[in-house]
Amino acid sequence: MRAMVQHSYGPPEVITLQETAKPSPGSKELLIRIQAATVGPSDCAFRQGNPFMIKLLYGLSRPKFAVGGTELAGVVEAVGEEVKHFKPGDRVLGMSVKSFGAFAEYKCLSEESPLAVIPDNITFEEAVGVCDGGATALTFLRDKAQLRKGQKVLINGASGAVGIYAVQLAKFFGAEVTAVCSGANESLVRAAGADFVIDYTREDFTKTHKAFDVIFDAVGKRFFPECKRVLTANGMYLTTEPRMSTLMQMMWTSLFKGKRAIVATAGLMQNKANLTYLMELTSSGTLKAVIDRRYPLEQLPDAHKYVETERKKGNVIIQF
């Protein structure tokens, strides 16, 4: 099968197209013929082995898993004899957070993995797009912030993959949404449902006179101390960026009532229920996939280069 392989950490050019052995499913696994995958900042971080924690977890001198990519959508080609809930021909969305491997034509996933059947009215690209960003936004807003109807939420980085689905989910949960993005992306975030938009190139949201129940920094660009001023008395600051300082603030603020800081690794917290829920919301039209660019598999290094500009809007899709 064709796979985009990297045997060392480094720039996008370390990833090259190679012929590798097609995997065969174990007794509890599905063999998926991949139709679409996504590239995001985490894929670039894994490729580089930066931050250093990645090397500690996934190989000090070279990546333990030579094929990257975590979100995938495709068709089940075969199943192991003990698989109960999936069959050949099923269209599925899956996450491979433990062994990566989405940047190849085939991947075997355990039936226990985060997996969902893709409804007929959703394309593979839409399914995998909504998953890349939507799953993270869901974990932060529904599970961590427990966002409620009528609350005021500010989403920083609202035009990125996490941000654009956070805007849509926050509206669905009944919150009043202030989206922070550059002026060029204002129409995009308004179409996603934002009630108010702050252009970060002209205005610093931490200096506004409004207070927010929840500030979700989807791109991890602002710090808890600077956001505190514009949080309500029991307001919550959430960030996707696991900095040491924020982890310390999270521990400290959990001891008292008042303003809190939260960071989470949402990728590791995904499950079938979340993916199925995202598919239901997409099937009903509540969530809409926002796809910026598409690249064929062999142009994966170019996709990485684009993602590293930090300008992508919604998702970057890899086509097979």
Ligand X SMILES: NC(=O)c1ccc[n+]([C@@H]2O[C@H](COP(=O)([O-])OP(=O)(O)OC[C@H]3O[C@@H](n4cnc5c(N)ncnc54)[C@H](OP(=O)(O)O)[C@@H]3O)[C@@H](O)[C@H]2O)c1
Contact between 156 and ligand X per CB under 6 A = yes
Shortest Cβ distance from residue 183 to ligand X (Å)?
Answer: 8
Exactly one of 220, 276, 277, 306 binds ligand X (CB under 6 A); that residue is: 220
Give the nearer residue to ligand X in terms of CB position, either 105 or 308.
308
Find out whether 319 and 297 touch, Cβ atoms under 8 Å: yes
Shortest Cβ distance from residue 26 to ligand X (Å)?
Answer: 28
Give the nearer residue to ligand X in terms of CB position, either 247 or 273.
247
Please give the size of the binding site for ligand X, defined by CB under 6 A: 33
Exactly one of 240, 246, 253, 282 binds ligand X (CB under 6 A); that residue is: 240
Give the nearer residue to ligand X in terms of CB position, either 79 or 218.
218
Give the nearer residue to ligand X in terms of CB position, either 3 or 15.
15
Shortest Cβ distance from residue 24 to ligand X (Å)?
Answer: 31
Shortest Cβ distance from residue 305 to ligand X (Å)?
Answer: 12
Contact between 49 and ligand X per CB under 6 A = no
Contact between 133 and ligand X per CB under 6 A = yes
Contact between 270 and ligand X per CB under 6 A = no
Find out whether 102 and 37 touch, Cβ atoms under 8 Å: yes
CA pair distance 153, 170, nearest whole angstrom = 8
Give the nearer residue to ligand X in terms of CB position, either 5 or 266.
266
Using the CB atoms, write b or e for 227-257: b if 16+ within 10 Å.
bbebbeeebbbbbbeeeeebeebbeebeeee
Contact between 221 and ligand X per CB under 6 A = yes
Residue nearest to ligand X (CB): 160
Stretch of 54-62, 84-92, 113-121, 177-185 contacting ligand X, by CB under 6 A: 177-185
Contact between 113 and ligand X per CB under 6 A = no
Rg (CA), the chain: 20
Shortest Cβ distance from residue 20 to ligand X (Å)?
Answer: 27
Give the nearer residue to ligand X in terms of CB position, either 23 or 267.
267
Shortest Cβ distance from residue 161 to ligand X (Å)?
Answer: 3
- Residues 17-46 close enough to bind ligand X by CB under 6 A: 40-42
Give the nearer residue to ligand X in terms of CB position, either 35 or 42.
42
Contact between 307 and ligand X per CB under 6 A = yes
> What are residue 59's phi and psi, to 5 degrees?
120, 120
Exactly one of 7, 64, 229, 311 binds ligand X (CB under 6 A); that residue is: 311
Shortest Cβ distance from residue 291 to ligand X (Å)?
Answer: 12
Find out whether 47 and 308 touch, Cβ atoms under 8 Å: no
One-letter amino acid of 311:
R
- Judged by the rule CB under 6 A, the positions of this chain that interact with ligand X are 40-42, 133, 136, 156-157, 159-163, 180-182, 184-185, 200, 218-221, 240-241, 264-267, 307, 310-313
